[in-house]
Structure 1
Amino acid sequence: MIIGVIGSLAMMFLGSGLSDEAEVQRDKRNAQTVANTAAMASAAGADYFVAGDEEATVQKLRDGCKPGSGIFKDRLFKLPALTDAQIQRTLRFLKLNDTDLVYDSSGTN
């Protein structure tokens, strides 16, 4: 019985750390998706960039944007459904680099 109690306590302690790491990995993956969508939209000529404001830039990508001309003129570049809370958690892994939104795996943004 004592071993069972100790084992349960150990699982609770380790389990919370694993859950936190899983959430960080999910946020990193979401940030990578945002950065990839931004790169595709930029290459196609879509206007999604808001200078100096990562959150507004991500919001424009969430709402969707289309290039004004070119081969991708009617192509909608849009993020998959992300909640406001998910966007807030991904922002630490994103940074503005001149006219691009890029992924930063360090999470120091």
Structure 2
Amino acid sequence: MVLLGVFASTAWNPAANGGVDGLLAGNSSFFLKQLGAVLFSSGWAFVFTLGMLWIIDRITIVRVEDAHEELGLDEAIHGETAYVEVDVAGIRPGQPL
């Protein structure tokens, strides 16, 4: 999205947005509008997600039990293992693969 404000050119589409050029053509206002929209959207998504996770955490636990996480969620919840050709049981955090 931000690069649209950089590379926009009336040479490609003179009718789009009344013929707006981008940052490379000397029009910083279109770039700043694009940048503002991206920053606002990212901030909104972050705050909304944080709020929803907070609400969900008040209703139920978001995280799984430590024992289930150590065993592996496929094994703990479904009773089966994915990727049986790879031995992941002996891998510990921080250990090189």
Between structures 1 and 2, the one with greater strand share: 1
TM-score by length of 1: 0.33
Q: Which has the higher contact order (CA 8 A, sep 6+)?
A: 1
The structure that has the greater radius of gyration is 2
